[in-house]
Structure 1
Amino acid sequence: MRKTLSVAVAAATVATALIPGTSQAEPSHDLKWGACPADVSPGVPVPPGMQCATLKVPLDYRNPGGQKIEIAISRVASKKPDQRRGILLVNPGGPSAGLGYPATLVAAKMPQSVLDSYDVIGFDPRGIGHSTPVSCGLTAEQQLYGNIPPYAKSAADVAKRAAEVQQIAKQCWSSETAALLPHMSTANTARDMDQIRSALGETTASYLGASWGTHLGAVYTTLFPQRSDRIVLDSNLAPRGWDYPSDRLWSQGVEDRLPDFAAYVAANFREYGLGRTQAQVIAKYHALAARLDKKPVVAPDGVYDGAMFRLITFGFLYGAAQLPMLAQLWKSLDANQPPAPPGEMKSAASGADQLISGRYAIICNDSRWPTSVATYQRAVAVDRVRYPLWGAAGANIQPCAYWPDSTEPPVRVNDDGPANVLMVQNLRDPATPLAGARKLRQALGQRTTMVTADEGGHGVYLFGRNRCANYAVTTFLTTGARPAHDYACSAAAAPR
């Protein structure tokens, strides 16, 4: 039996049968499109003509006539009505705000053929961004590691973190938005997507989702197989989504990916001086982490200890453009100097209260997590040895250990439905490793084919450089032609 935090919470989370996804109420088609919020896409230009609107959806799909919440949506409309196929719902993963994601895709040079074929539709998932938000009232210290646990050097570190995340869970379930929490889930976000489809007057929807967005897409096409048109899943979670095994899988991802970074640093020894070979650079990682554990570097934007160094390394392994920044950070810390400019590097390690709170709500509701601190302590001890780079972080405890039971069982992704799913996956992804993608591939069965790219990093389509994989996605979205069988794309160039 999982822990509950109050009688009211327990009453709110009693498991009950859910109204089938196909029987939900259809909203009226009266969206009022207008200018998007000023902060819709920070740092990314808003494409001409991009519009935003708000859609009311049921908070609880078991009671579609009851309380409503708002979902913020955006649109970059096709300018070629004769070529337009329909709508392409897009999600960047996270769970994060996605209202500005169409702007990001345009800036990433989404092919004009795709932009002509679809109205590209972004949205903020329920609980996050400009949609009806949830908040746990997190302090700056509670936001420090975002939704990723710190590296635990010992069982005592796990116990300390357990007390911290138990407090976070209590704050969430005693907050002003606690009544919303039982209804924050990937399944309900998928149902919101279908409400968006209906509100736009479309009989089907195509989809492009990355990272956590692959789980959202897999759940959507499981709940609504006949309403799914062309579904692209990029950088894939295992079929159960972001659960505790997924956290632990990050450790394999770092072991897969860090050698790419080490090769880059070694090839630029004159600039960084961190090692002449991959082995020397990886040894430098361990040496720096150990030294910072004992003597952190104090900077204007905070303290760089061993746990923060490991976390930032993990985050900056995501993309090629971040590798020089990460190398410079290592170089500064190796010289016992704070990274410059202050704050630039650490911004990836923290986040707003509302974003982190919304993520906890969704991932903790989606699956059952171990409730025993001893379970996490044993897993940390095992993974510290199996995956020395990151294992003692990936296996550490999350607030989900203290979360009440969900209002519904997780959606079981399966192979029931049309063969209209394309998966794309880098071989060396630190956040969604190949092992998880293979499990999703197996769960979807005949519904999907998978294209793998001999690349490192998180994100394939548009944000990677593998033309073979990019071609497969663009061709599928624009023509419907999907590879008949799984295939592998060779590396685009030297490791990055």
Structure 2
Amino acid sequence: MRRGKTAAIGAAAVLAGVLVAGAQPAAGTARDGAAGSGSAGAGPERFERQRAVWHRCQDGPDDAAGKQLDEAGARCAEITVPLDYSRPDGRTVKIALSRLKAGDPRRRRGALLYNPGGPGVPAASLIVQLGRAAPEVAARYDLIGMDPRFVGRSTPLNCSWPVTGIGSAGPDRRSFDRTAALAEDLASRCAAHREVLPHASTRNTARDMDVIRSVLGEPKLSYLGSSYGTYLGAVYLQLFPGRADRVVFDSSLNPDLYGPDLMRTTGPAVTEVLKDWAAWAARRHDRYRLGSDAAEVLAVVNRIGRAAARRPLKVGRHRVDGRVLPMLLWNVTAGDDDEAYASFAADVRVLRDAARGVTVTPTPVLEGVLAGLPAPDADGYFSAQTAIQCADRAVSRDPETYYRDIRAHRADEPLFGPLTRNLTPCSFWPVAPAEPPTKIRNDVPVLMVGATGDPAATYPGQLAMHRALTGSRLVPLRGAFRHTVYGGLFAPRNACIDAIVDRYLTDGALPARGTACS
């Protein structure tokens, strides 16, 4: 994925609060994994025994993703699952699937389901990219894509939000109150869907995965998940520990904190990425003229922040104030390679000049993000994403909790704290979660990989997942400041990581303890 697209998606994801503490009763693995009518685990036999009717994927002449799937030889299907697994005879929803059959049928091992993260990312179309990135894996496995419930083509949920999220709390109480009012308004627009909202949870998506496994006729399911996909995978392992084959987590989230407020832990990690970029820019001072050492470069960024807090910066046809600026600076997380860092340096030069009062033209990346921030959530992506998070964990409904937290961290997190620690629509959500959060604790074998400088799936969070999964093996990519590390799917490739993951998926060989890449 090119840096411009990654940056735009990253800023928009921050708006929705992609990335809480509280009591987490144990999931009850044996009970939740049991099949049968009324069970909290797999659906009753009428769902497990349904037959998938595979067909062409393209749905109309404008369906580019479906056309790409067809051209790659994939096929698509829809299956039926319960809206509420505790009421299997009640309302149902449709789940859209894609399948790219193993390239070498004689060596086929089974089915591998891929979830790239989110939450709320339509994943059915992404198996083509996975197959290209990992041809040996694609030779051994049927690659399975799934649009999670209420996402993409799976009985979509759309609250018709006029914007894609609430963004940063900004520099003062007045700007915080504006975001709180916006969050309350967005939540109210989802009230019409109150009957389905409690069932948008990751637990139910994991149950849907096991219905898919059964429909495919697979005794066990292999899995590759990145970012949020690691939490989904961990929940699946907790509910169905005996039905997992080979499992890979790329950039794991902290399973004890996952939920609407998980982003509050990411500010320091993003600041470290900013410092790494500043050192990179300083080594190229003759080209970018942002400072001859990292401290000087960071001082430029801080001056931009102070200027935007005083009055909005004019950036082309846009105005950048203290609420918008942190989302533009978040673009530093788009990648740690030269191309991404150079693009971010160009952004900072534009913002520096705007802070000086110079007439500027935004870079294509800045223009894309600034144009997208006020745009409506036309396809429901962010309202569905928020619905999943709100169904997973309840959060404080007192805005003062968030404002106190932001104030407490203004000194040590001046740029990103008001963004990452802000409230979300979940504080005003019209319904409560139907179930408690899943307590992740099991010994299922898992290969975990991730960057030590990951700005979204922070390394302490990866370690928390590693501790929760006592059968896991963690291979860190040291010295890297990127989110996701396998296959070059969303970040630069690393040959060491790719070789370890490919070997495990094809041969089942977990690396020795203490293995690391750099």
* TM-score using structure 2 length: 0.83
Query: CA 1:100–1:240 in structure 2 vs 1: closer, same or farther (change >3 Å)?
Result: farther
d(CA) in 2 for partners of 1:161 and 1:217?
33
1:450 shift after superposition: 0.6
C-alpha displacement of 1:385 = 2.3
Partner of 2:493: helix, strand, or coil? coil
Look up the match of 2:486. 461
CA contact (8 A) 1:89 1:207 kept: yes
Residue in structure 1 matching 2:164, options 117, 136, 143: 143
Match runs of 1:273-288 below 5 Å: 273-288=289-304
Q: Which residue of 2 aligns with 1:487?
A: 515
| 2:182 maps to amino acid | E
Q: CA deviation at 1:154?
A: 2.5
The answer to whether residue 430 in structure 2 is matched with residue 406 in structure 1 is no
Q: Distance in 1 between matches of 2:103 and 2:463?
A: 38
Displacement of 1:472 in angstroms is 1.4
Unaligned residue ranges in structure 2 (runs of 5+)? 1-31, 33-37, 355-359
SS at match of 1:240: coil
SS in 1 for 2:409: helix
CA distance in 2, matches of 1:347, 1:422: 40
Residue number in structure 2 paired with 1:101:
126
Q: Hey, what does 1:393 align to over in structure 2?
A: 419
Secondary structure (helix, strand or coil) at the match of 2:486 reads: coil
Who is 1:32 aligned against? 54
State the 1:367 CA deviation.
0.8
Q: Residue type of the partner of 1:372?
A: D
Q: Give yes or no for contact 1:41–1:103 (8 Å, CA) kept in 2.
A: no
How far has the Cα of 1:406 moved from its partner? 0.8
Q: Confirm or deny: 8 A CA contact 2:57 2:66 kept in the other structure.
A: no
> Retained in 2: the 8 A contact 1:235–1:424?
yes
What code does the residue aligned with 2:201 have? S
Flag the 1:323–1:52 CA change in 2: closer, same or farther, 3 A.
farther
The residue type equivalent to 2:190 in the other structure is: C
1:77 and 2:101 are equivalent in the alignment: yes
Amino acid at match of 1:402: F
Secondary structure of 2:190's aligned partner: helix
Which of 63, 85, 88 pairs up with 2:87?
63
Q: 1:76-104, CA deviations, whole angstroms, 9 ceiling, x for partnerless residues?
A: 21121111111110011111111221123
Residue 211 of structure 1: how far off its partner (Å): 0.7
Deviation by residue 1:93-146 (Cα, 9 ceiling, x = unmatched): 11111122112324xx4232101011111111111111111122211xx3255x
Q: Deviations for 1:164-205, whole angstroms, at most 9, x for unmatched residues? A: 1111111111x3x33221110111111111121112111111
The change in CA–CA distance for 1:394 and 1:224 in structure 2 (over 3 A counts) is same
Decide whether the 8 Å contact of 1:46 with 1:103 is kept in 2. no
Match of 2:199 among 177, 180, 183: 183
What is the root-mean-square deviation in Å for CA atoms of aligned residues? 2.4
Deviation at 1:473, TM superposition (A): 1.0
Of 189, 194, 206, 1:171 maps to 189
1:304 partnered with 2:304: no
* Structure 2 counterpart SS, 1:334: helix
Q: Tell me, yes or no, if structure 1 residue 442 matches structure 2 residue 467.
A: yes
Q: Equivalent of 1:339, from 362, 366, 379?
A: 362
CA contact (8 A) 1:329 1:345 kept: no
- Aligned partners of 2:510, 2:65: CA distance in 1, in Å? 32
Match of 1:475 in 2: 503
Partner of 1:11: none
| Alpha-carbon distance change, 154 to 24 in structure 1, aligned in 2, over 3 angstroms | farther
Q: Would the aligned equivalents of 1:78 and 1:119 in 2 still touch at CA under 8 Å?
A: yes
1:289/1:309 contact within 8 Å kept: yes
- In the alignment, is residue 378 of structure 1 matched against residue 404 of structure 2? yes
CA distance in 2, matches of 1:372, 1:344: 34
| Structure 1 letter corresponding to 2:161 | L
- Other-structure match for 1:328: 346
Shift of 1:233: 0.8
Closer/same/farther in 2, CA of residues 289 and 367 from structure 1, 3 Å limit:
same
CA contact (8 A) 1:370 1:401 kept: yes
Q: 1:205 to 1:395 in 2, by over 3 A?
A: same
State the Cα distance separating 1:434 from its structure 2 match: 0.5
Contact 2:56 / 2:70 at 8 angstroms: preserved in 1? Answer: no
Give 5+ residue unaligned stretches, structure 1: 1-16, 491-496
Q: Does the 8 Å CA contact 2:54/2:75 hold for their aligned counterparts?
A: no
CA deviation vs aligned residue, 1:407-466 (integer Å, no higher than 9, x gap): 111111112x43x21111101111111011111111112x21111001111111012333
Structure 2 vs 1, CA of residues 390 and 406 (structure 1 numbering), >3 Å: closer, same or farther? same
Aligned twin of 1:8: none
- How far did residue 242 of structure 1 move? 3.2
State which of 469, 472, 476 in structure 2 corresponds to 1:452: 476
Q: Is the 8 A contact 1:204 1:229 kept in 2?
A: yes
Select 1:20's aligned residue among 10, 30, 40.
Answer: 40
How many equivalent residue pairs? 462
Change (3 A) 1:322 1:103: farther
TM-score of the aligned structures, taking structure 1 as reference length: 0.87
- Output the CA distance in 2 between the equivalents of 1:268 and 1:42: 43
